[in-house]
Amino acid sequence: MTGILVLEQSLNGLQFGLMLFLLAAGLTLVFGIMDMINLAHGSLYMVGAYLIAAASLASGSFWLGLVAGVAGTALFGVLLETTVLRRLYERDHLSQVLGTFAILLMCNEGVRWIWGSQPMTLNPPPALSGPVELLPGFSYPAFRLLVIATGLLVAGGLWVLVTRTRLGMQVRAGASDREMALAMGVNVRRLFTAVFGLGAALCAVAGGMLGPLLAVQVGMGENILILAFVVIVIGGIGSVRGAFIGALLIGVIDTAARALLPPLLERLAGPAAASDVAPALASILIYVLMAAVLFWKPQGLFPSHG
């Protein structure tokens, strides 16, 4: 029985971790290459989820909605980069915080303007709405399996792109030493627009996958944005590998703490203390982890800057 619980929670943790990675990958590249703090990154996730929900509703098909929404978000990201964010690269971190916080406010209010304050529903495709029996006596929701598969597929594709292609080589060069990359003739400007569009598309994929599991609502991007920042700081800024390991670490620890701490505390300290303390402890755990990592390794686990 406990074996099944552990298995189920591991899958949940893996799924959440992979989705966090989709967000953290774009965030860490923006950060690593342009030294740019983008507080509006979570807004791309929200815009993606809304576009996918709206397109799914209009077309009646989850898949059509997903494709249209991801493409729309990538376009939105590229537009945002070329019109506004590009002007912030050369500025200090404070201006970037202010500018992207302003965009975050506008995105939240814009979405509320267009779609209203009520959360939108994004239904998983009917074929995947039921459970699948993975082991005798253990079934797992089919859609969550799809989320895991998508996460693995996209992460794998990203790995190939970053480590095996010319574009990826330029991205890595830009992330570890932008001046040198510039001197070697990399068009960092164009490269960065591409990276930003890709990052936006990854956000939208995460939005489409998590939308049916969580709610599609205004402000949904913010909690996950903070988590994505935690991920890239733990992993080491600019490091895609660090983001991957950090995301899985956070996903598994967060999920496990939420599932396992309440029964554990109940056994140790009684039900009253458990219901009071367990949720806080579970929420705090990842921040404790982050503080601990930074205490011993102030550059994160996989520092990419020398």
Partner 1 sequence: MADFFSSPLDHRLRKVPALVLLAALVALPWMLQAAGQDFYLGLATRVLIFGLAATSLNLVLGFGGLVSFGHAAFVGAGAYTVAILMQDGIASAWIAWPAAVLVSALLAAAIGAISLRTRGVYFIMITLAFAQMLYYVMTSLKAYGGEDGLSLMSKSLVAEAVDLGDERTFYLLTLAVCALAFLFVQRLLNARFGHTLQGLRENETRMAAIGFPVFRYRLAAFVLAGALAGVAGVLLVNQSGFVSPSLLDWHQSGLLLMMVILGGVGHLYGGLAGAAIFLLLEELLSGYTTHWKFVLGLVLLAVVLLAPNGVMSFRRRR
Q: What is the rounded CA–CA span in Å between residue 37 and residue 246? A: 18
* Contact map string, positions 244 to 273, toward partner 1, x by CB under 8 A: ------------------------------
Q: Interface residues for partner 1 in 159-178 (CB under 8 A)? A: none
At 238, phi and psi to the nearest 5?
Answer: 95, -10
Name every residue whose Cβ is closer than 8 Å to that of residue 6 and which is 6 or more positions away in sequence.
Answer: none
* Cα 72 from Cα 44, distance rounded (Å): 10
Segment interacting with partner 1, rule: CB under 8 A, options 21-29, 95-103, 208-216, 244-252: 95-103
d(CA 20, CA 31): 16
Question: Considering only residues 112-151, where is the footprint of partner 1 by CB under 8 A?
Answer: 112-113
Min CB(106)–partner 1 separation in Å: 4
Helix (H, G, I), strand (E, B) or coil at 132: strand
* 103 and 40 Cβ atoms separated by less than 8 Å: yes
Nearest residue (CB) to partner 1, 92 versus 152: 92
Query: Measuring CA to CA, how many Å separate 103 from each of 40, 84, 271?
Result: 6, 9, 44
Q: Is the dihedral of CA 68, 15, 282, 242 positive or negative?
A: negative
Helices (H), the chain: 2-34, 41-59, 62-83, 93-115, 142-164, 166-176, 178-183, 188-210, 220-235, 240-269, 271-296
Site track 222-241 with partner 1 (rule: CB under 8 A), x = hit: x---x--xx--x---x----
Q: How far is the CB of 148 from partner 1 (least distance, A)?
A: 27
Contacts of 202 (CB under 8 A, 6+ apart): 22, 23, 25, 26, 154, 158
Counting residues that bind partner 1 (by CB under 8 A) gives 46
Toward partner 1, which CB reaches closer, 180 or 280? 280
98 is a site residue for partner 1 (CB under 8 A): yes
Q: How far is the CB of 135 from partner 1 (least distance, A)?
A: 35
Q: Which is nearer to partner 1, 194 or 305 (CB)?
A: 305
Show the site string, 55-94: x = touches partner 1 by CB under 8 A, - = not. Answer: -----------------------------x--xx--xxxx
Residue of 55, 191, 198, 290 that binds partner 1 (CB under 8 A): 290
Residues at the interface with partner 1 (CB under 8 A)? 31, 37, 39, 84, 87-88, 91-95, 97-99, 101-106, 108-110, 112-113, 222, 226, 229-230, 233, 237, 276-277, 279-280, 283-284, 287-288, 290-291, 294-295, 298-300
